Structure 1
Amino acid sequence: MPSQRFALPSEVPGLAARRIAADILDGVLHKQRTLDEQLDGAAAHPGLKTLSDRDRALMRRLVATILRRLGTLGHLLSRLLDRGIPTDAPRAQSALLIGAAQILWMDVPDHAAVDLSVRLVQSDRRAAKYAGLVNAVLRRCAREGQPLIDEVKSQTLDIPPWLLARWTAHYGESVARDIALAISYEPSLDITVKSDPEQWASRLHGEILPTATVRTLLQGSVKMLPGFIEGHWWVQDAAAALPGRLFGEIAGKSIADFCAAPGGKTAQLVHAGARVTAVDRSPARMARLRDNLTRLSLEAETVVADAAEWPGTKSGEGFDGILIDAPCTSTGTIRRHPDVAWLRQEVDIAALAALQKRLLQKAVTLLRPGGTLVYCTCSLEPEEGEQAIAALLASESGMRRAPIEAGEVAGLQEIVTAEGDLRTLPCHLPHPDPRLAGLDGFYAARLVKS
């Protein structure tokens, strides 16, 4: 639990939000804790309860901006600091990052950004001695920061070198740079609606994508937006909404959804009329899935189990379809989850690929003859996508690829590979406003059991 005190009634406005932002940054950068676990659920930062909705939104945006531009901020501060960022006081590092991010990319007056960062340092015993340094560096940042960033002109600074090298090798240097640029923008809010996307695009001040997802730039608490409480829609990136559609007509069919929580794809399948069994190993995540289905007035059978070990239905009947949204490095979601870039390491890929192999092999055994298997990951790494399916097809003679046609994915030919699989990239779906552009990076393949 963070040691810093929480907001007091007499505290300087905005300081509590920045203190909690510093705690959460420290959790990501020094304690390997994800943003999700620090922002929601039982392990969330206790100070969040003290913040107003406005301050909570500011804190989230501040943390996301810093993580999205961490490489650029590191480069900038190294130019402004003669001896580098202090390593003996994490709060001094956080204060510098928070102040610089506000000065460069957020609608906060420079003097307020500097003052609050100095106060942040002064309130921490170990960092207090650096208050003068933080003040001087951030004042220099306000004068010289933008020219120093323009001098570099490279979003690739904000991608870990090992990841950029992989993307360059697999997609080419130009596409890798386009991916890095797309990730640098704060993403829109994508929602899947039960019906009448035109009405919801109007009510949410958004627009309808070719895939029928409604995309909006509205910010703040999702729960406060029209239609959420009533269960008319759910949050789901446009790319994440595509794999569930690859089964075709599924009314009345039995579909197992492996690794189902938090339930966006389960909701899609149920809404399309399937009899869905949702399987997830996490009781907490499954509870969230059930809550989402209740809000949406949808029903599915739920099973808390490791899908790779799950024996299937008691009757032993095979499923008409199985959807695997496999655990992965999630490198395709960095624009929405910028902590992923700094929490994942290249060594993680092999262990996750082994788990994905086990899930695929289990799905083959639980699929009835003639049944359809849709496998997907929100990863840009070929080991977790193309190579996983190639290995399965090589080892399972009873499985064959059922190529995806562009017409099944709103005519977006660029997201269909030569083999007939789905591959979306963050730089796909361009838009004049870059905040309304892009997709999460997804891979999906459709296989049929003979």
Structure 2
Amino acid sequence: MDDYILKRSKSTLYAIVNQAHEIIHCNEAFKNYFQLDENFFGKIQDLFVAEEQEKLRQIVLNVLQNDEHYTNLKFGTTSESFGQNQGVNWELYRINCKEENCVFLIGSLLYTNEHILLTENLKKLEAILTSTNESSIILSKDNRVEYFSAQAYKEVRQFFGKEIKVGDDFDQYIIPDLRELFYEKFNDALSGKEIFYEINIPVGGSNGLWFFVKFVPVRSSDGTIGSVLYSARNINDIKQYESELTRQKFYLKSMYESTDTAIAIFDRNLKMIYANKRAFELTEIKFGRKIRQGDFALEFIYLDNQDYFKNQIDKALQGETVIFEFNDGDEFWKFKIFPILDENNNNLGISIHISDITAIKNYEKKIIEQAQFLKKLAWSQSHELRGPLSTILAISENINDIEEPDLKEIVLSKLRKYADQMDQIVKSTVNSINQISEKYGI
């Protein structure tokens, strides 16, 4: 943990105690007060006189278990370097350190009037004390630098080419175009307000850099505001990521809204999360109302078909992609149900895509009927016409050899008969062709 905020004060002591009551971190003032080695490792109660140890142990336990907050505590110390007139006024409260509940002890020497940070402010500054990516600076009322974090030192040097120091006039580190805004927020914080906002600062590339800025009032021991915490965290990567997500969301929405396919996304409980324009239109046509966020999927399935659709949806919820067709009177619909999986292959819900395939089905029917007609026509040509034609050809080859007039007349009448049969077959075929042409507009 970085302790840039408190380490310079000789009269402000702090330590962090884990659940075993062991001191896992403390500042130099704490070590000096208790005359601790650089590598000291022990329990907090061991630093105090024997008659105080059980009391302190119980207090630490109450803080850890019940989130109790203790103020204005005084304990006798085993240290011999300070007289009794140099005691410490202690405050204890619970914090989270490295994902573990710990106790934060802060104490101020009673003989000094030096400015200290109260518990409520330290809680607000906890993230700063444990962070390495946030520029944090405590400024006095006259805008002088009192404390700063390691990241603040780094960024001031990067952007201004200077090394920030305690006592510096912070005005020299304010970008001129932002000076008016800075002092407006600074004065608001001095009046007791907490200020949070995002801003694009014209540094770095042509698009500037995005920062999340905080102004937090810091109160002195008598409750008055003695200084202001100014904090700026670089969020440029986050803003670029958000911008990219917005663009992708726009592209995806444009694609979903422009398609003729009705698309709806449901969570694992089959509650609607998203539906495109076509899905709204389709549910209104079929069910008299548009699907809304939170609606149950099976409310938009015909009652007679709910068991079948529920079975298909269950398959998708188990990770299977399901594709099937559904006939609704003269209409035909194609359903595709996809599972929605996260990076760990956990199923988050389903996406249902519904396409109107009536035109495709009608075209398929047309092709089938045409194929059947051609098959029938081929059979007619090869069977119905073949018989009369073969007879006519046979008679034609032998008619000149017939000399008897009556027999010749009989043969000629047979020719006319078979010719009439062929004529009827041709007329029937032409009629069928005309019928199918009119039906399909050929």
TM-score (norm 2): 0.22
RCO greater where, 1 or 2, for CA within 8 Å and sep 6 or more?
1
Query: Greater share of strand residues, 1 or 2?
Result: 2
Max radius of gyration: which structure? Answer: 2
For normalisation by structure 1, the TM-score amounts to: 0.22
